[in-house]
Amino acid sequence: MVAEAPEPGKLSAILFTGIEGPDGLSWRDESLQDDLRDEHALLVRELLPRHGGREVKRLEDGFLLEFEGGPAAVDFGLELQRALETRNGDVSAERRVVLRVGVHLGLVVHRDGEVFGEGVNLAARIEALARPGTLYVSETVARQVEGRLASPPVRLGRGEMKNIRLPVAVYRIDPPEHRRRVPLLSRMRSFLGRRSAAY
């Protein structure tokens, strides 16, 4: 019996988005949940073609997206966060759409229109760590975009992640407007706190 050859992998940037509940609280109004998810979906689908991205799957509170490389994924993520910041300035607190975004560049396997592999798992883990309103990215992505950004990615630390074979370094990328709004002392406290956090 001949063993099947492993499926060939492709290097892709995987981006996950996840909606944070209003003011970090759990959802209570199902109709409001649906409205905000739909607004999120409309904005993602409006911006995605500008960056050459592909919608792999819509999730309950977010999306799984694929890009050719880290720069395209980061550009999309930053534009998405800026667009939401503008939108959120004109609505009440409970109607704000606040996102976590995680990005990783790695090998994935394509099958039946979906993507699989450790690259996908790692992007999902990074999104779960992300501070709302920013982008959290792996070191491979940070290296690709460092010279293209007004401010370099901020290294948050390295740690173990569930079902990931090697320790992973994670970086934060803030939209320029976000960095101006957050006082320096607050940014330092967040940075130091995240460095010591367990993954």
Report domain extents, the chain. 10-21+29-186
**Superfamily of domain 10-21+29-186, CATH level 4:** Nucleotide cyclase, GGDEF domain (3.30.70.1230)
Q: On the CB side of 114, how many CA atoms lie within 13 Å of its CA? A: 8
CA dihedral 75, 77, 78, 83 (to 10 degrees): 120
pLDDT in tens, the chain (199 residues): 444 445 567 899 999 999 986 554 455 677 888 888 999 999 999 999 999 999 999 998 899 999 999 999 999 999 999 999 999 888 888 888 899 999 999 999 999 889 998 889 899 989 988 999 999 999 999 999 988 888 889 998 876 555 555 567 899 999 876 544 444 444 444 444 444 443 3
Distance CA 16, CA 61 (A): 10
Is the overall model pTM greater than 0.75, yes or no?
yes
Distance CA 194, CA 199 (A): 9
The dihedral of CA 60, 126, 45, 10: what is its sign? negative
Residue 187 is predicted with a pLDDT of: 44
Q: What is the DSSP string of 86-137?
A: HHHTTS-GGG--EEEEEEEEEEEEEETTEEESHHHHHHHHHHHHPPTTSEEE
